[in-house]
Structure 1
Amino acid sequence: MSRSVSLTPAMLFRGAVVPIAVLALWQVLSSTGLINPTILPSPEAVLIRWWHYLLPTDAYDPARSGWLAWALSGEMLFDAYSSLYRVVLGFLVGAGLALPLGLLMGTNPRVYELFDPLIQVLRPIPPIAYIPLAILWFGLGNPPAIFLIAIGAFFPVLMNTIAGVRHVDGIYLRAARNLGAGRLTMFLRVILPAATPYILAGARIGIGTAFIVVIVSEMIAVNSGLGFRILEAREFMWSDKIIAGMFTIGLLGLAIDIAINRLNTHLLRWHRGLDS
């Protein structure tokens, strides 16, 4: 049976070589004055700005409600919380609509023929193209951002769910029928478990897309979040804060991807043959 690969110090060292080399070259170019610090500040300046961005601005902010008034008084922490809140809520809305529709389209040819033309027309349209309509329909604030994120998460989950259901091995279906399995048992015990790897892969892609869409939507429709803060920094030409915000987005995205990957590994242990 295969086992999960654990990271060794040698693997971690090899993975850190290129990032360290890029940071060292970046620092050298900035220190020698070959790069305008207004255009591209040094890594040291970005780190200092990131630390100030992280630190609480004050001990208590009555403008925020509940425990946020105390726990998230730091600007970056509040922005990160705002972005993650929109990502999670928008993803749940989009995936919650896509999963049952995908299961129906995958198992019922009539439902597939009914919805597939509309899906194929709407699927190539990027979520960003819906921004004017989102603002027109929902105004400003969280609703348009959540609407856009839901669209971004909807189609990856939908298409992977359909593919997973339609690619269930026929041997499993015939074996279940020969054993006298009914339609509900066939769906719950055969089709759904066999399609789960596809569904989880779609969820991973969907939440990654949701994280991209939230940054774009925050630059246009809301006044909080990491995307809004990056746009604000651009207006004042704070390049160090822009890069600090970008690195924060990257770290959050990495954390989300690692968490989802570990969840997939845990849920699909039976499929991959991993030891418990």
Structure 2
Amino acid sequence: MERIERRKTRRANPLRLLDTGVGLVAPLVAIALWQWVAASGWVNPQVLPAPSEVWRKWVDYLLPLVAWKDYADGGWLSWAFSGELPADILASLYRVVLGFALGAGLALPLGLAMGASRSVYAWMNPLVQVLRPIPPIAYIPLAMLWFGLGNPPAVFLIAIGAFFPVLMNTVAGVRQVDGIYLRAARNLGAGRLTMFVRVILPAAVPYILSGARIGIGTAFIVVIVAEMIAVNSGLGFRISEAREYFWSDKIIAGMISIGLLGLAIDAAVNKLNNHLLRWHRGLEH
């Protein structure tokens, strides 16, 4: 069995490298086209700076030590500190994790109850269906009125953004358990609690994890919007600040940072899902 697993791993590694190489083609072509358009002078560099300028600004945005100046009178070195990007990433991630934990922590038990109980579903579903179409951005005025400025309104908005994807996927996962499993458990004498813990909950786990993946993606979108309006730190705030000073290179650098961070978060969540669902994949891995 170990030999078979090693062979599968050896076969999979070249395929993964090939997929990674193919996936890099489109971004590289887009960057080359962008550089060509910027170098041709077809657009105002204040509106669309060249990739080289964005890269320089991104490095300045990332590194904690970017410049120094030698004073002629005493020979002292004066260091100019930047390093805003690591601090902004940590601030945004803190809000995302806290808001997602709050939203998912409330959605999971409610979703399990709505999926497992017809009476709970009948009571709660109308309210959920009324609130679900309201985008989290629409709550911004109320969030600022209730919580003021800073982290509380941002965490509130993120919790709302994460709540409904987790809730709806949990309800769907519990309600769509295959009836064969339920009948088999009843025939084996399983009680309601045992059936819920040993049959319904494991069968719903793939749906719950899919909802969590969607919810954390939504939370990451909401945090950027919240930081542009109600917070004075984070990636969204830094982009809004750059807009006020017409720093297009810093705006694009911030956008690229958001994209890379979102890609890393999605890849980590996907890897965690695959690890937790090894039993569900069967002989595929």
- Length-normalised TM-score, structure 2: 0.89
Measured against aligned partners, the alpha-carbon deviations of 1:189-219 in whole angstroms (never above 9, x if no partner) come to 1000000000000000000000000000000
In the TM superposition, 1:7-156 aligns within 5 A as 7-57=15-65, 74-156=83-165
Measured after TM superposition, the shift of residue 273 of structure 1 is: 1.1
Q: Is the 8 A contact 2:61 2:82 kept in 1?
A: no
Q: What percentage of residue pairs aligned between the two structures are identical?
A: 71
Change over 3 Å in CA distance of 1:80–1:187 after alignment to 2 = same
Q: What whole-Å deviation, never above 9, does each CA across 1:118-152 have from its counterpart, x for those lacking one?
A: 00000000000000000000000000000000000
Match of 2:208 among 199, 212, 225: 199
Contact 1:144/1:221 (CA < 8 Å) preserved in 2?
yes
Q: Which runs of 5+ in 2 are unaligned?
A: 67-80
Measured in 1, the distance between the counterparts of 2:243 and 2:223 equals 18
1:50-77: per-residue Cα shift (whole Å, max 9, x none)? 000001159xxxxxxxxxxxxx972100
Tell me which structure has the larger Cα radius of gyration: 2
8 A contact 1:57–1:75 mirrored in 2: no
Alignment CA distance shift 1:29-1:156 (3 Å):
same
Residues 57 and 249 in structure 2, CA contact (< 8 A), matched pair in contact too: yes
Q: Per chain length, whose mean CA-contact separation is higher, i.e. which structure has more relative contact order (CA < 8 Å, sep 6+)?
A: 1
1:110, 1:13 → 2: CA distance? 52
Corresponding residue pairs, total: 263
Which runs of 4 or more aligned residues in structure 1 lie more than 3 Å from their structure 2 counterparts after TM superposition? 1-9
Whether contact under 8 Å (2:213, 2:266) holds in the other structure is yes
* Counterpart position of 2:191: 182
Normalising by structure 1, we get a TM-score of 0.92
Residues 158-205 of structure 1: per-residue CA shift (max 9 Å, x gap): 000000000000000010111111111111110000000000000000
Instruction: Report the secondary structure of 1:95's partner residue.
Output: helix
1:257 CA drift (Å): 0.4
After superposition, the C-alpha distances for 1:45-100 in whole angstroms (9 at most, x for unaligned) are 00000000001159xxxxxxxxxxxxx97210000000000001000000000000
CA RMSD, aligned part only?
1.9
| Aligned counterparts of 1:10 and 1:273: Cα–Cα separation in 2 | 25
Q: Offset at 1:275?
A: 6.4
Partner of 2:179 in structure 1? 170
Structure 1: state its 5+ residue gaps: 59-71
Whether the 8 Å CA contact 1:148–1:213 is kept in 2: the answer is: yes
